[in-house]
Structure 1
Amino acid sequence: MVRIKFNPYGREIEVPDGENLLEAVRKAGIFMDTPCNGSGACGKCKVRVISGNIISMSSKNITETEKKNGYVLACQSIIKGNAVVEIPETESSSMHGMKIEDFSSSREKDIFNDSRERMLKSGMKFGTYVKKEYLELDPPTLDDNISDFERLKRHVKKQLNYNSVFCRLPILKKIPKLLRKADFKITITHIPRGKEKTTIINIEEGDKTKELYGAAVDIGTTSVAACLVDLYNGELIAKASSGNAQMKYGADVINRIIYSTKGSGLEELNHAVIQETINPLLSKMYMDSGISRDQVVSFVAAGNTTMSHLFLGVYPNFLRMEPYIPAFVKTPFIKASELDIEVNPETFIYLVPSVASYVGGDISSGVLSSGIWNSEENILFIDLGTNGEIVFGNSEYLMTCACSAGPAFEGGEISCGMRASGGAVEKVSIDSSYEPTLKVIGQEKPLGICGSGIIDLICEMMFAGIIDRKGKIVRDLDTNRIRFDEHGIGEYILAFKEQCDLERDISITEVDIDNFIRAKAAIYSGITTLLKDLSMDFTDIDKIYIAGGIGNSLDIGNAVKIGMLPDIDQNKIHYIGNSSLMGCYLTLMSEDARRKLEEIANSMTYVELSVEPEYMDEFVSACFLPHTDIDKFPTVKRCFNKSV
């Protein structure tokens, strides 16, 4: 065994001789974003060896200068003796405080109100199946000496007219002390089973009948967003968001599925999403609001199909293997105690049903909140998160597909990419002398660039003449912001490390640009293929709704100019925020909404793009800026003509 110390954390652990350095980082409980899950491809697990015997394989992601300064890739390094390793400033800071679209800003409040109004106008009712009642029990005497639980049952039967009253062990443990502390004046929370039976799930001191809460959670591959809701009036009590701690096992679902098949991988992934992500978010909301976990008696969550499997700890490997079969698309109600989720143990966990292997409950939830299911117009719904899912339809039909877009829209597979959190560049403009102007989230120093910033950057580079339509950097431009490495790969510098007090320059490389072009091409070709299957084209689209983690700073015009979205009237394109979280909220508040949600999931027709003969041709054609056929983008063509 050897000892290894990690600075600046000051953590020291003992590991076997020959242990992989990345695995040692994980065992030390230190978060490290590893989009490629240790294959060496992404280069984001860069650490500095201060002392000790560590053997590392050479990597194109480590420059000669970095190598001389002791930098290695943790995933490509083996520990052969006691060592001290420094972990540089990385995206671990972006695990929390991410810029998740919620209902707090005026724009999101408008989206929220519109969605709720649509539900009400459709005839749906809001209200919860969980009930609260205030009871005043007769104190026990020598003449009336029945047990505490029998006394409670007697009053529930008498005052609430139930024939059968149940509770489980956690309630029995609370009863003796709480009844006496409350002078036998209590509030019970219960779940009726028809008109004659009910189950008590919580007991509180005094009259707490006006306090009933639920939690809605959007489990994204990259980020997780949650809100605490007053189930009586629908008010948001608290909200919280963070990165999904599963990121340390890979940026995309395929890497995580593969990891789940190895040893205790499935248990580690389940632990990461519940114990390291969801429960801390819940705890933060409880602290912010002054609400206790036992008061949270309803829980709705949505995620893509892989996230749903990992959330429940269900083996997901067959999702990625032809014919791509999920273990489930709809689950029975599951108790919070079965998953160790920090809400009332008797709370039923409702996981929004999926559609297929790569179209999950987050899309079902998004379709519910967007109102496509009740629209006479043809609406195109696009979720731009770690994966790209598309739905097209109206009240009569819903067609859906999933694109292999990868995590680029949330900063994955981009060398300086990061999530939309403090320090992320979210907007970029470039002037005629090739100098950039950056807008940084939180007005902090730039640490990386998120999805909306990447779209702006590529668009600005294209029109500034820095890159050609293949995404290749033009040589011999008069600027110190462009350089080429020993392999001839070019990069453009957004922020110099000396000017911003950073460990390295923030830049975008030709490899990054190529990755992003493939991601945007996947979206565009997915839209095109879905419409062709319906014998339609872009002229048949009445509205486009953009949802997902790409953020409120998305410039629709730039997204069109790079060929990610079709070149239609931009007044038809709307950003609708975190539609998955919104759908969870609606489901939390309404049994009618839950039934409609299940109807939506059952009615969507899934198109598997991998077996569509025209999809690959469409994809290849879209791997240009904006497209190989510039006539498909007439407004962009006019912009090119003006810039010449």
Structure 2
Amino acid sequence: MSSYVGSIKFHCETNRWWHVVEKKDSYKLAIDVGTSQISARLLTCSNDSFSIFSIPNSLLKYGQEIVSLIRCSFNNAEKLRELTNSLRSTINLLIQKTLDSHNISVEQILRITVVGNTVMHHVLLGYSLDGLASFPYHPTETRSIWTSGSQIGLETISDVQVFCPRIMEAFVGSDAISMIVSSKQNESKTKLLLDIGTNSEIVLKHEDSYLVTSAPSGPAFEGMSIKCGMAAQPGAITAVEIDESYKPNTLVLGRLLPSGICGSGTISLLSEMLRTGIINENGSIQRNLDLPYLHEHNSIFSYTIVEKDDSATGERIYISQPDIRMLQQSKAAIFGAIMTLFDRVDISPGDVNHLYLTGSFGANLDIESATSIGLFPNLVQACHRKVGHGALEGAGILSCLQDPDEEISEICSRTEYVPLDSNPIFDQYYLQGHRFSEF
């Protein structure tokens, strides 16, 4: 099993890490820079936490997937600088919003810990993404970074200590480490950690070791790249039931008129469409069904979830055959990645004691629906825990440690990265995972 060298502590100017003195009225701030959303949480020095604030990631305007950022900045220092400035401005806004909401001054902040995937880590720190553009993938920097806000363009907290934990691999960032940190309170023999998003981090703890990988699942489960998709916010359909007449009944966040359907809603919908025979195991809409909810336009079939007169937008909310194909590819990537890790240590789904779901998608996910369509294998034996912001929770724990690098180094010494590129085991399970059925 491969291991990772412990991270090096350094300040961007002096190459030295510095100690901060905690005071009674001082605070620390944890930030999780996701591909779609950036979240922040304030903590006291005794590890009491406040409410979470989130805003959309401004980099979405450059593309919904991290590969879009890699491509647009490739061999283009000016474009990279543009991405960096955009991300830093968004983080500055989030920090100010968080402090203002709690009536706390920047002078009361001792440390900020920022986690994210490798691309977000590099963009924030101004590192080139060129090494991530083609195989073999090489990040520009993997070490932990100790710096100050002024050194990385966070003027809101210019004199505050900023800690960016090390990354593991090209597409496994510090958010995966933070997820492991937040889950360590439950030391099951075999534990599966899932953070499903545009770039899904998957961790399998078996006995005393961790296996980690990253699945290119795309933005479909975050409500993007499908026609009527949206984020999990008020107005989003989060669950669907289809009755014996094939009529859909929806559950909507905030008890508002629906505006679209979020990731957990699409899983619920697909499960119901499969159960009622509207789609088959191949994901094809059954065109021979004579239903008022099925529509055809330009030879593309779709199933109506909400009629236009009943939606907040005045437009029909539906799922089309191309939407289903997009979701099918995403779920196959996640299933394939999970089974590849199981294969690596020769275990079966029934050996998993604990399933840990994090992220906004995972926190709202119905386990039975996800299992019925084969998003992941049947883990009925496992205890389930849902955490809306697992990486943020881990970042908060790291922020309150005097020497977080010691904790990170201990985790990395027991961790093996399992690549999926050119991996025949993954390819086999990825193909199998396209089928809508329980595995």
Residue 351 in structure 1 maps to residue 164 in structure 2: yes
- Number of the residue aligned with 1:408: 220
1 CA distance for matches of 2:78 and 2:311? 41
Task: Select which of 70, 82, 87 maps to 1:257.
Answer: 70
Partner of 1:384: 196
Deviation, 1:395, is 5.5
Any conservation in 1 of the 2:283–2:435 contact (CA below 8 Å)?
A: yes
> Which of 355, 367, 370 is residue 183 of structure 2 equivalent to?
370
1:229 to 43, 46, 52: 43
Q: Distance in 2 between matches of 1:594 and 1:557?
A: 38
Q: Which of 251, 261, 270 is matched with 1:458 structurally? A: 270
Any conservation in 1 of the 2:188–2:353 contact (CA below 8 Å)?
no
Offset at residue 454 of structure 1 (A): 0.6
> Which amino acid in structure 1 is aligned with residue 60 of structure 2?
M
Is the Cα–Cα contact under 8 Å of residues 228 and 318 in structure 2 kept in the other structure?
yes
Instruction: Rate the CA distance shift 1:551–1:423 in 2: closer, same or farther, 3 A.
Output: farther
Residue in structure 2 matched with residue 338 of structure 1 by the alignment: 151
After the TM superposition, which residues 515-554 of structure 1 pair with which residues of structure 2 at under 5 Å, given as runs?
A: 515-554=326-365
What does the per-residue CA deviation read over 1:551-600, in whole Å, with 9 as the maximum and x for residues that have no partner?
43210000000001211325533323311001110011112554212321
**Cα distance in structure 2, aligned partners of 1:288 and 1:599:** 36
Determine if contact 2:80/2:123 at 8 Å carries over to the other structure.
yes
Structure 1 SS opposite 2:421: helix
Q: Which moved more, 1:394-403 or 1:578-587?
A: 394-403
Q: Secondary structure at the match of 1:469?
A: coil
SS of the counterpart of 1:590?
Answer: coil
The residue identity in structure 1 corresponding to 2:202 is: I
Residue in 2 aligned with 1:469? Answer: 281
Which of 425, 441, 450 is the aligned partner of 2:253? 441
Q: Conserved in 1, the CA contact under 8 Å of 2:196 and 2:362?
A: no
SS of corresponding position for 2:219? helix
| Preserved CA contact (<8 Å) 1:469 1:624 | yes
2:435 aligns with: 624
Which of 305, 309, 313 aligns to 2:118? It is 305
**Shift in alpha-carbon separation, 1:268–1:497, aligned structure 2, 3 A:** farther
Opposite residue 87 of structure 2, the aligned amino acid is: V
Aligned to 1:417: 229
SS in 2 for 1:391: strand
> Structure 1 residues 272 and 445 mapped into 2: Cα distance closer, same or farther (>3 Å)?
farther
**Number of matched pairs:** 424
1:237–1:398 Cα change, 3 Å: closer
SS in 2 for 1:454: helix
Residue type of the alignment partner of 2:420:
L
Aligned to 1:293: 106
**How far apart are the structure 1 equivalents of 2:27 and 2:236?**
34
Residue in 2 aligned with 1:37? none
Counterpart AA for 1:325: H
Aligned residues of 2:188 and 2:354 also touching (Cα < 8 A)? no
Of 373, 382, 385, the match for 1:562? 373
Counting aligned pairs with the same residue, the percent is: 31
* Counterparts in 2 of 1:238 and 1:459: CA distance versus 1, 3 Å: closer
After TM superposition, the score normalised by the length of structure 1 is 0.63
Distance 1:217 1:460, change over 3 A: same
TM-score of the two chains, using structure 2 as the length reference? 0.91
Question: 2:84 is matched by which residue type in structure 1?
Answer: N
Deviations along 1:43-78, whole A, 9 cap, x unmatched?
A: xxxxxxxxxxxxxxxxxxxxxxxxxxxxxxxxxxxx
| Structure 1 position 391, deviation (Å) | 1.1
Paired residue for 2:244, among 413, 421, 432? Answer: 432
Letter in 2 for 1:216: A
Q: CA RMSD in A?
A: 2.3
Q: 1:504/1:531 Cα in 2 relative to 1: closer, same or farther (>3 Å)?
A: same
Structure-2 change in CA distance of 1:246 and 1:574 (3 Å): same
Which of 207, 211, 230 in structure 2 is aligned with 1:399?
211
Q: 86, 94, 97: which is aligned to 1:272?
A: 86
Q: Out of 309, 312, 324, which is 1:513 matched to?
A: 324
Map Cα deviations across residues 265-288 of structure 1 (whole Å, 9 max, x no partner): 21222122220x212111112221
Contact 2:279-2:286 at 8 Å conserved across structures: yes
- Which residue, 134, 138, 150 being the options, matches 1:325? 138
Which of the pair has more CA radius of gyration? Answer: 1
Mapping of residues 161-310 of structure 1, within 5 Å = 209-231=23-45, 233-261=46-74, 262=76, 264-275=78-89, 277-310=90-123
Higher relative contact order (CA 8 A, sep 6+): 2
Residue 224 of structure 1 aligns to a residue in which SS? strand
CA displacement at 1:450 relative to structure 2: 0.9
- AA matched with 1:589: C
Q: Distance in 2 between matches of 1:602 and 1:333?
A: 21
1:488-503 residue pairs with structure 2 within 5 A?
488-503=299-314
1:284-320 C-alpha deviation (Å, 9 max, x unpaired): 1222111122322210011011110011111112113
